Chains A and B, each alone.
Chain A
Amino acid sequence: MKFDTPAAANPIDQLKVVGKATDRIDGPLKTTGTAPYAYERHDVVANQAHGFILGSAIAKGRISRMDIAAAKVAPGVIAVVTAENAGTLGKGKWNTAALLGGPEIQHYHQAVALVVAETFEQARDAAGLIKVDYQAEAGAYDLAAARNGATVAKGEPDSTVGDFNGAYTAAPVQLDATYTTPDQGHAMMEPHATIAAWNGDKLTLWTANQMINWGVKDVSQTLNIPEENIRLISPYIGGGFGGKLFVRSDALMAALGAKVAGRPVKVALTRPLMFNNTTHRPATIQRIRIGATREGRITAIGHESWSGDLPGGKPETAVQQTRLLYAGANRLTAMRLAVLDLPEGNAMRAPGEAPGLMALEVAMDEMAEKLGMDPIQFRILNDTQEDPEKPGRPYSQRQLTECLRQGAERFGWAKRDPKPASVREGRWLVGMGMAAGFRNNLVTKSAARVRLDGQGMVTVETDMTDIGTGTYTIIAQTAAETMGVPLDKVAVRLGDSNFPVSCGSGGQWGANNSTAGVYAACMKLRQSVARKLGFNAAEPHFADGHVSSGGHTVPLAQAAKDGDLVAEDQIEYGDLDKKYQQSTFAGHFVEVAVDSATGEIRLRRMLAVCAAGRILNPKSARSQVIGAMTMGAGAALMEELAVDKRRGFFVNHDLAGYEVPVHADIPHQEVVFLDEVDPISSPMKAKGVGELGICGVGAAVANAVYNATGVRVRDYPVTLDKVLDHLPEMT
Chain B
Amino acid sequence: MRNHGNADVSRRGLLLGAAASAALTATPRHGQAMPADADVPSAPHPGPVPIMNPVMNRVSLTVNGAAQTLEMDTRTTLLDALREHLRLTGTKKGCDHGQCGACTVIVDGRRINSCLTLAVMHEGGSVTTVEGLGTPAKLHPMQAAFVKHDGYQCGYCTPGQICSAVAVLDEIKAGIPSHVTASLTDAPQATNAEMRERMSGNVCRCGAYSNILEAMTEVAGQKMADQQNGRDPA
Contact = CB atoms under 8 A, between A and B. Distances in A.
Interface in B112-159: 129-131, 133-137, 139, 143-144, 146-148, 150, 152-159
Q: Kindly name the residue among B32, B95, B159 whose own CB sees the greatest number of chain A CB atoms within 10 A.
A: B95
B205 A188 contact: yes
B153 A191 contact: no
Nearest to B204: A189
Contacts of A127: 28, 30
Contact of B99 (A124, A239, A271, A663): A271
B71 interface: no
B24 interface: yes
B48 interface: yes
A655 B38 CA distance: 31
A129 B134 contact: no
B208 to A, nearest CB: 6
A428 interface: no
A669 to B, nearest CB: 4
A454 interface: no
Interface residues of B, number: 86
Interface in A449-486: 467-470
A31 B154 contact: no
B203 interface: yes
Contacts of A631: 205, 207
Nearest to A65: B41
Interface stretch (B2-10, B11-19, B192-200, B220-228): B192-200
A75 interface: yes
Interface in A637-656: 644, 646-649, 654-656
Contacts of B40: 57-58, 133-136
A550 interface: no
Given A121-B73, A468-B155, A655-B203, A646 B36 contact: yes
A84 interface: no
Contacts of A655: 94-95, 97, 99-100, 203
B73 to A, nearest CB: 5
A288 to B, nearest CB: 28
Given A121-B73, A134-B40, A664 B153 contact: no
Q: Kindly name the residue among B33, B102, B144, B157 whose own CB sees the greatest number of chain A CB atoms within 10 A.
A: B33
Contacts of A268: 93
A60 B199 CA distance: 41
A29 interface: yes
B37 A33 contact: no
B158 A31 contact: yes
B49 interface: yes
Given A23-B148, A32-B131, A666-B210, A134 B154 contact: no
Contacts of B34: 57-58, 134, 136, 647
Contact of B207 (A26, A36, A238, A630): A630
A104 to B, nearest CB: 15
Contacts of A470: 153
B205 A666 contact: no
B211 A239 contact: no
Interface in B47-90: 48-49, 51-54, 73, 75-76, 80, 83-84, 87-90
Please classify how large the interface on chain A is, using the bins under 10, 10 to 19, 20 to 34, 35 or more.
35 or more
Contacts, number: 280
A489 to B, nearest CB: 18
A663 B199 contact: yes
Nearest to A272: B31
Contacts of B208: 623, 626-627
A58 B31 CA distance: 9
Given A57-B32, A270-B96, A655-B99, A29 B153 contact: no
A296 B226 CA distance: 60
A589 to B, nearest CB: 15
A99 B12 CA distance: 46
A40 B89 contact: yes
Given A190-B156, A237-B154, A139 B36 contact: yes
Interface string A66-84: 0100100111100000000
Contacts of A132: 42
Interface in B177-211: 192, 195-197, 199-211
B221 to A, nearest CB: 16
B90 A75 contact: no
Interface in A80-122: 108-109, 119-122
B111 interface: no
Nearest to A60: B36
Interface string A198-234: 0000000000000000000000000000000000000
Nearest to B180: A664
Contacts of B33: 57, 108, 644, 647, 649
Contacts of B37: 136, 138, 646
A35 B48 CA distance: 45
B24 A125 contact: yes
A32 B36 CA distance: 48
A663 B202 contact: yes
B196 A64 contact: no
Contacts of A665: 200
Given A57-B31, A188-B205, A272-B31, A33 B89 contact: yes
Interface string A7-43: 0000000000000000110111111111111011010
A469 B150 CA distance: 11
Nearest to B80: A120
A242 to B, nearest CB: 12
Interface in A513-547: none
A470 B211 CA distance: 15
B211 A189 contact: no
A620 B206 CA distance: 12
B105 to A, nearest CB: 10
B36 A74 contact: no
A423 interface: no
B97 A663 contact: no
A629 B207 contact: yes
A239 B93 contact: no
Contact of A124 (B28, B48, B90, B158): B28
A189 B31 contact: no
B157 A627 contact: no
A555 interface: no
B172 interface: no
B97 to A, nearest CB: 6
Contacts of A467: 154
A468 B37 CA distance: 44
A36 B162 contact: no
Nearest to A62: B39
Given A119-B76, A665-B200, 5 more contacts: A31-B130, A40-B89, A59-B36, A133-B39, A238-B94
**What are the 7 A-B residue pairs with the smallest beta carbon separation, nearest first?**
A33-B90, A630-B207, A238-B156, A468-B154, A128-B29, A30-B155, A468-B153
25 contacts: A23-B147, A29-B155, A31-B130, A31-B139, A31-B159, A35-B155, A40-B83, A57-B33, A58-B40, A121-B80, A133-B42, A189-B92, A238-B156, A239-B205, A619-B150, A623-B150, A627-B207, A631-B207, A646-B35, A648-B36, A654-B95, A656-B97, A661-B207, A663-B202, A666-B196
